[in-house]
A and B are shown apart, each in its own frame.
Chain A
């Protein structure tokens, strides 16, 4: 299968589908299994949604999100780069196991997205480069076969 290395989309909610498709294709090219592919797509989608809503729309900014992929021998690396409001998702409070056992009636809903991101990949990182946010997702490839 042929895979693009880059996708550039407008930073709005309509672009989430295209980003998701790009990640699904990248995961297939890298030979990830179904579960790893799903969890990676989820991790990237959660951060992309945050970028659109908090990095651009709430700040009344327009701009783009650039998605890129790199397939290394041992890992698939996805990078999201945007020019929205500076934000390091790793600073968000994540729900603890105790928080996640609270009945839904009394549950605080915040933080689920970052929880799914961090738990969905082998490495999640953030860098601030040239006034851009760069979110990095790494998933190990099963290269035994």
Chain B
């Protein structure tokens, strides 16, 4: 798994690729949580993510809680059909702004 984080106009944008499982989810968590900053907003570009296990869902849950605590929001961009299915089945999907492009993801948080 690889994560690149940048900040554009005070909005954090993370691009993740690879597999998010029990091995890599803790790393994702420790990089993404501080990246959200004080506004509690982050766009996560995930079109390169090929796998997400329950460990990854747990990371998204913690991110979401931090976002809510700061009145922020999280946008997930480019989710694969399989990951969307898993997030929908577990009742996660509707709590995130789900977008197809990075531009739409950024716009959805403004």
Q: Which residues from chain A sit less than 8 Å from chain B, CB to CB?
A: 13-14, 16-17, 20, 34-35, 38-39, 41-42, 45-46, 49, 52-53, 100-105, 107, 109, 112-113, 115-116, 119
Q: Which residues from chain B sit less than 8 Å from chain A, CB to CB?
A: 19, 21-23, 51, 53-55, 57-58, 61, 64-65, 68, 81-82, 85-86, 89-92, 95
Q: Is the CB of B86 within 8 A of A20?
A: no
Q: Is the CB of A49 within 8 A of B82?
A: no
Contacting residues, chain B, for A113 (C-beta < 8 A): 53-54
Q: Is the CB of A112 within 8 A of B54?
A: yes
Q: Chain B: interface secondary structure? A: helix
Q: Chain A: interface secondary structure? A: helix
Q: Is the CB of A49 within 8 A of B91?
A: no
Of A42, A103, A105, which one neighbours B53 at CB under 8 angstroms?
A: A42
Residue of B nearest to A101 (CB): B91
Contacting residues, chain A, for B89 (C-beta < 8 A): 100, 116, 119
Q: Is the CB of B68 within 8 A of A105?
A: yes
B86 to chain A, nearest CB (A): 7
Q: Is the CB of A52 within 8 A of B22?
A: yes
B83 to chain A, nearest CB (A): 9
Contacting residues, chain B, for A38 (C-beta < 8 A): 51, 82
Known: A104-B61, A107-B61. A116 touches B54 (CB 8 A): yes
Q: Is the CB of A100 within 8 A of B53?
A: no
Of B51, B55, B90, which one neighbours A20 at CB under 8 angstroms?
A: B51
Contacting residues, chain A, for B68 (C-beta < 8 A): 104-105
Known: A49-B55, A53-B22, A112-B57. A42 touches B86 (CB 8 A): yes
Q: Which of B21, B64, B68, B89 has the most CB of A within 10 A?
A: B21
Assembled-state Cα–Cα distance A20/B18 (Å): 13
